[in-house]
Homo-oligomer: A and B are copies of this chain.
Amino acid sequence: MSIIFEKVERLCADAKNSSGSLDLPAGIRNDILLGYADALEKGSASILAANVKDMAHASENGVPREMLDRLMLNKERVRAIAASVREVATLPDPLGSGEVFRRPNGLTIRRIRVPLGVVAMIYEARPNVTVDAAVLCIKSGNCAVLRGGKEAINTNRRLISVLHRVLDRFAVPRECVALIDDVTREGTNALFEMKKYVDVLIPRGSKGLIRAVAENSRIPVIETGAGNCHLYVAPSADIPLAVNVAFNAKLQRPSVCNAIETILVHRAVADKFLPEFAGRVRTSGKRLEFRGDETVRAILPDAIPASETDWETEYDDCIVAVRTVDSLDEAIKHINTYGTRHSEAIITRDVEEARLFRSGVDAACVYVNASTRFTDGGEFGFGAEIGISTQKLHARGPMGLEALTTVKYLIDGYGQVRE
């Protein structure tokens, strides 16, 4: 066994052994968060100094600009991070509540929400995710084992050491929030083997990262984020409304998972919808590449021919695939074949069509006459978001704090035995 493996195992075992220490009243867990928010602001100079070091290394190593922007902290961003920590403190306690029922034999059974235990997260070089993950775990009574992108290592160390000093004040062991600061591949691979100590592993970041984690982890994983989303424009659609929603769902922020990638348009309205949509894009001054089938290209001569690959691709970019369909059934079949079960929308004025779309489409979120861009914990009113689950077990769709809990049955008797 390598030194790195042993180090990761020690971190995870210590987190497991400390997990009872966060069994604290909600008031104290919230006080820890408020203390952390203050400490982040007070310690902002040292955090920014560490971040400057990370930024310098990253620039030297040719890290792309977009990644640099996500890595970069400044005073304002630290203040925003502290503000979001304070917001989590105001959310309702996810622990301890549930149902209670009495059985005919006099047993009282309580089904209550409890922490999962130890939550591990693997994510990219975004320091705000370090704080997010630590704070959501503390709020939900879980120990955290964090493995952030290597480019952010100095910043992450500072952010966690600031937290550790707050934990000291509350006599909570530092082991409750551990940072794997061995940011080699070996460190990550070691984490995948820690099923004995870690209850769930949540990857946050690119599709490639999430796929690698899902394929290699022996710890149960909650898969998040893959979003090949569709908008179907039905024959009865209000065309201006369809144009407006399609424009928003595709172009308001094309790089995110709840943006649409393919528009399905019924043949009966293709020659009304498509020119209006293309016109709206043009007058907005935004750039959008169209890839379409023959019918689409007859209407939009600039469109590139679409291939099977286009139906499968999550562009996350200013490209849209467009396909004409002859029926609602064909639209649903396309979505269930190529979709990633994330967010799907129909624009229609027909009640029956809306009903069939809702029940026929297999996805976490199904929209009627609204933009898919609303699939988000904040927009749904959940306060904090850990990610958007595209799996069906445990959690589906935007995940709030409840996704970091499980249930426990507490059974009280006075000597009952089974006959």
Number of copies: 2
User: Are B367 and A413 closer than 8 Å at their CB atoms?
Assistant: yes
Distance between A366 CB and nearest chain B CB, rounded to angstroms = 5
Check A412/B370 contact, CB under 8 A, given A393-B220, A393-B393, A396-B406: yes
> Which stretch, A132-140, A241-249, A269-277, touches the partner chain B?
A241-249
> Which stretch, A2-10, A83-91, A373-381, touches the partner chain B?
A373-381
A207 within 8 A of B: no
A267 within 8 A of B: no
User: Are A103 and B379 closer than 8 Å at their CB atoms?
Assistant: yes
Which residues of chain B are near A406, meaning CB under 8 Å? 392-393, 396
User: Are B374 and A418 closer than 8 Å at their CB atoms?
Assistant: yes
Among B370, B394, B409, B417, point to the contact of A393 (Cβ < 8 A). B394
User: Are B244 and A417 closer than 8 Å at their CB atoms?
Assistant: yes
User: Are A107 and B397 closer than 8 Å at their CB atoms?
Assistant: no
Which residues of chain B are near A362, meaning CB under 8 Å? 117
User: Are A380 and B103 closer than 8 Å at their CB atoms?
Assistant: yes
Cβ-closest chain B residue relative to A412: B368
Check A366/B245 contact, CB under 8 A, given A381-B103, A393-B200: no
User: Are A23 and B359 closer than 8 Å at their CB atoms?
Assistant: yes
User: Are B381 and A101 closer than 8 Å at their CB atoms?
Assistant: yes
What mask results when residues 384 to 411 of chain A are scored 1 for a CB within 8 Å of chain B, else 0? 0000000111101110000000111111
Cβ-closest chain B residue relative to A104: B381
A360 within 8 A of B: yes
| Cα of A23 to Cα of B408 in the assembled complex, Å | 32
Among B20, B23, B392, B394, point to the contact of A199 (Cβ < 8 A). B392
Distance between A408 CB and nearest chain B CB, rounded to angstroms = 7
User: Are B371 and A416 closer than 8 Å at their CB atoms?
Assistant: yes
A121 within 8 A of B: no
A120 within 8 A of B: no
- Identify 16 new A-B residue pairs, CB closer than 8 A, beyond the known A117-B392, A368-B412, A368-B413: A20-B359, A103-B380, A245-B417, A247-B417, A365-B409, A369-B416, A370-B415, A370-B416, A370-B417, A371-B413, A371-B416, A371-B417, A374-B411, A374-B418, A397-B408, A398-B409
